[in-house]
Amino acid sequence: MEKYGSTEIVDLIMARQIWQGMSYDMLIDSIGKPEDFDHKVYKTKETFVLKYHSTGKNRYKTRVKIEDDKVVGWDLK
């Protein structure tokens, strides 16, 4: 509660939820550190794809895309 200052955010993190606009730190607090990630730097932005729940070589059930420290999308299989 002290870290984020909002009971709504704390409730979402405790329920292990992902939402657009959450920060990288919120994501790590919510679902943990990724098993792997991809990192790309462009002229105007920096992107990460965080990978969770490995099902084989370079296959993951969950991929979360982050641009400029904010979650912009995810893929759950």
Confidence of residue 22 (pLDDT cuts 50, 70, 90): very high
> What CATH number corresponds to the domain at position 63?
3.30.1450.10
pLDDT computed for residue 5 by the predictor = 84
The whole domain housing 22 covers 7-76
Average pLDDT over residues 33-60: 95
Say if 50 falls within a structural domain.
yes
Half-sphere exposure of 16 (CA within 13 A, CB side): 4
Kindly tell me if the per-residue pLDDT of 74 is higher than 80: yes
pLDDT computed for residue 72 by the predictor = 97
Say if 2 falls within a structural domain.
no
Say if 1 falls within a structural domain.
no
Say if 51 falls within a structural domain.
yes
Q: What is the pTM of this model?
A: 0.88
**Two tokens, residue 41:** 């730097």
Q: For the chain, how many structural domains are there in total?
A: 1
Confidence of residue 9 (pLDDT cuts 50, 70, 90): very high
Kindly tell me if the per-residue pLDDT of 73 is higher than 80: yes
